[in-house]
Amino acid sequence: MPALNLDTDGDRIAERIADSDTLLVACLCAQWCGTCREYGEGFDRLADSHPEICFVWIDIETHADRFDDLDVENFPTLLIEDSVTTRFFGTVLPHVSIAERMLSDLTALPGAIGAPKLRPALAAV
């Protein structure tokens, strides 16, 4: 299944992240960004290969009011959270292999960099 899109799949996203065992991987992007659009295909393939993870595509500018407190300066920005912690939040090079490697590392190692940033806003759909 390709990545869920906040514009069309809000209920499905809320349902998936209600399960505390589900890892959330969100790509924060902008529709006008050509790099983001190109990255989207690979992000969908990554989602297809990891159905146990909730992959979400969010046009951060369309939803600026909802995610105003997120400091997104460049695209694509990935945010990876479990139900307790933010595992990664930052800009990445637009190569899906980097996200794949991060997922391998983050799911193998415990650790946190702060409270979840995205789950509360997505759960309120």
pTM comes to 0.83
Q: Specify the residue for token string 């292999």.
A: 97
Instruction: Report, as an integer, the average pLDDT of 16-23.
Output: 93
pLDDT score for 12: 97
Q: What is the pLDDT confidence band of residue 68, given thresholds at 50, 70 and 90?
A: confident
Tell me how far apart the alpha carbons of residues 55 and 36 are, in angstroms, rounded to a whole number: 15
Has residue 106 got a pLDDT over 80? no
Helices 96-108 and 34-49: crossing angle in degrees, nearest 10, is 40
Classify the phi-psi angles of 89: left when phi > 0, otherwise alpha if psi is within -120 to 50, otherwise beta: beta
Tell me how far apart the alpha carbons of residues 73 and 61 are, in angstroms, rounded to a whole number: 11
User: What residue segments make up the domains of the chain, in order of their start?
Assistant: 4-123
Which CATH number among 3.40.50.2300, 3.40.30.10, 2.60.40.1220, 3.10.129.10 corresponds to the domain 4-123?
3.40.30.10
- Name residues whose C-beta falls within 8 Å of residue 17's C-beta, 6 or more positions apart in sequence: 24, 54, 83, 119, 122, 123
